Amino acid sequence: MKIGVFICHCGNNISATVDVEQVAQHALTLPGVVCAHTIPHACSEPGQQLIKKNIQEKGLNRIVIGACSPRVHEATFKRVLAQAGLNPYLLEFANLREQCSWVHEDRQLATGKAIDLIDMAVNKAARLEPLTSSKVDVNKRTLVIGGGIAGIQAALDIADSGHEVALVEKTPTIGGNMARMDKVFPTLDCSACILTPKMVEVASHPNVTLYTYSEVEQVSGFVGNFKVKIRKKARLVDMEKCTGCGSCTLKCPVKAPSEFNMGLDNRGAIYIPFPQAVPHIPVIDKTVCSYILKKKCGLCQKICPTGAIAFEQQDELTEEEFGAIIVATGYELMDWTVYGEYGYGKYKDVITSMQYERILSSSGPTGGHIKRLSDGREPEVVAIIACVGSRDAARGRPYCSSVCCMYSAKYAMLTREHLPNAQVYIFYMDIRACSKMYEEFVQRAQEKYGANYVRGRVSKIFERNGRMVLQGADTLLGQSVELEADLVVLAVGITGTQSTIELAKKLNISHDEYGFLTENHPKLRPVESSTAGIFIAGACQSPKDIPLSVAQASSAASKVLGLISHDKLETSPLVAEVTILKCVGCFRCLSVCPFSAIEEQVLRDGTKVAQVNPALCQGCGLCSATCPPAAIALRGFTDDQLISQMESLCQLNPEL
């Protein structure tokens, strides 16, 4: 056993608080240690050379590095070992920075702790064994979940590179929230005009299989080899026969609130969500259709010229295999009804931002005319309240929704373009306009379009003589204000969705309390999820505008392409391993494994023992902790190795 110990100064990040020379001197006294060096920057080129030189000249076969967190540089030093001809898993990393120098002030005590940490690492290193990875095939197909702008962009990028993509969308059409929008900042181009070409392109792309009105039912497998069950919900319309003529939707006698128009008008039980829907094929809402509920009506069936109505249709389940998954499930508006003081639901002329988008849109319920919902009158004063459900910790929404400042300015402009004589007031907290052309956009709203910005929150809205009265504060003037408006638009904040949380559970990826998916590293791995091979794009990760969603979608697509450019993947050797002789076949490991990586294996004499599928195992160690006879060990973290660490620690404290 020839152990080499290398202690990094990390500039002075470590050496300012820890006497690294003393630590190195101590390391030399430990059994098996043949050399101990301090290095100003172990990760630097000269630092790496020093380690390599020592490995080769002194024939070191275990390496202990005392430096930063292994999350930062473990991979660097594993490479150094490999380049010097050593198995990279013969490395033990002691975190002297995040877990020592950065969190302590007393130099003497911190040095003592660093010595303990090196002691433990050396003792464990002596018990390390060389580990090797195995290889698994990579399926080249990709699943994209969510057919909004992010999902469409990601699917197109991958399909364009010549790889197959399946795009699954839970609603009857792709397009997502962007399809609802009228014009989009900062250029004020028509949302539908830039979105619909992409919708058509993705639907007709030879490499894309489109599953609309479908949901992911079950996901198993692992990076490179996911098995996904997709439920194709029954549209009750035969997609092969339907020509999309829409006669059925005109004759349907049932009325239900239109989801696409945010409940501002009605649709039939059979409907096409919006004129540019892709696919342009109607769907029957089983919860309201008279034929489904009472076996009466069936008018659509009588009227359909191609006999496409299929009431007997059932949900279909298909199972497909994919190498990678992109989640782009988007966002929804937070539940703004918690703001009872704004009178939503009580007053027809208090509406949400998404409803205002539909009112502004020429394909919307008012044909693009700004009208009050109560009496159809054109409003003279429009008030927009920003941060409804954003930056409001008291209502459980401490984060910024990042788009409301911009679309509020957009509303000011569009309102003035539609109604040049109307006055627009925006109640805001701060204006956040920090992307390309955003600040100029807000300036334009103020200077060219005469938007009145009032800094302060509205505390109450009530009705007086048919108008909405807003009471609040102008914090710049330091006085309370009262404004009579005809129409109030709540700039409602963005939240993750419940269905994304449910999907995250199926995919085994993590999410936060607001339903946003968690990226693997906020700075350096922004589109990777916590599970290998699953990527995230768009507003399901955090509130985002369209440019950012598209950029992130392309980024996720490039990550997928990087993954599927390999024919085979190396699996981590740090996985659980069963010692068959010790296994008593209680299978507690199988029931706790979050990754279904443990299987039953029947031996020749008929006894059943556990077996680990190394490709599925993520090395979480639950099985190892659960196994009563310690028959399952986590490679690289075996009981023997961990106990040896504990023992070196406890030697210092004989009471333990």
Interface residue list for another protein (CB under 8 A)? 505, 513, 581-588, 591-594, 622, 626, 628-631, 638-640, 643
Nearer Cβ to another protein (532/620): 620
Identity of residue 186: P
Contact 237, 284 (CB under 8 A): yes
Phi and psi based region of residue 155 (left: phi greater than 0; alpha: psi -120 to 50; beta: remaining): alpha
3-class SS of residue 193? helix
Nearer Cβ to another protein (524/630): 630
Structure tokens, 436: 């390309």
Nearer Cβ to another protein (290/518): 518
Nearer Cβ to another protein (497/626): 626
Question: What is the bridge-based pairing of β-strands 3-8 and 62-67?
Answer: parallel
Nearer Cβ to another protein (155/598): 598
Largest Cα span, the chain: 92
φ, ψ at 426 (rounded to 5°)? -120, 115
Nearer Cβ to another protein (288/590): 590
Contact 158, 554 (CB under 8 A): no
Identity of residue 519: E
Nearer Cβ to another protein (565/591): 591
The number of C-alpha atoms within 13 Å of 515 and in the hemisphere containing its C-beta is: 22
Shortest distance in whole angstroms from residue 105 CB to another protein: 31
Shortest distance in whole angstroms from residue 653 CB to another protein: 13
Nearer Cβ to another protein (440/599): 599
Structure tokens, 300: 């659509």
Identity of residue 268: G
What whole-number distance in Å separates Cα of residue 527 and Cα of residue 536? 5
What whole-number distance in Å separates Cα of residue 175 and Cα of residue 203? 11
Shortest distance in whole angstroms from residue 198 CB to another protein: 34
Shortest distance in whole angstroms from residue 622 CB to another protein: 7
Tell me the DSSP string of 3-63: EEEEEE-TTTTTTTTS-HHHHHHHHHTSTTEEEEEEES-TTSHHHHHHHHHHHHHHT--EE
List C-alpha distances in Å: 143 to 78, 167, 320, 394: 33, 6, 9, 39
Structure tokens, 588: 């507690």
Nearer Cβ to another protein (305/629): 629
Tell me the DSSP string of 310-334: -TT---EEEEEEESEEEE----EE-
Shortest distance in whole angstroms from residue 583 CB to another protein: 7
Nearer Cβ to another protein (471/508): 508
Nearer Cβ to another protein (11/629): 629
Task: Give the residue carrying structure tokens 């090196």.
Answer: 118
Structure tokens, 518: 């968690």
Nearer Cβ to another protein (275/594): 594
Shortest distance in whole angstroms from residue 505 CB to another protein: 6
Shortest distance in whole angstroms from residue 582 CB to another protein: 5
Shortest distance in whole angstroms from residue 631 CB to another protein: 7
Shortest distance in whole angstroms from residue 440 CB to another protein: 41
Shortest distance in whole angstroms from residue 510 CB to another protein: 8
What whole-number distance in Å separates Cα of residue 159 and Cα of residue 571? 27
Angle formed by the axes of helices 404-418 and 353-360, to 10°?
30
CA dihedral 302, 308, 312, 315 (to 10 degrees): -150
Shortest distance in whole angstroms from residue 504 CB to another protein: 8
What whole-number distance in Å separates Cα of residue 528 and Cα of residue 552? 11
Closest CA to 168 of 151, 185, 184: 151
Shortest distance in whole angstroms from residue 587 CB to another protein: 6
First to last CA, the chain: 28
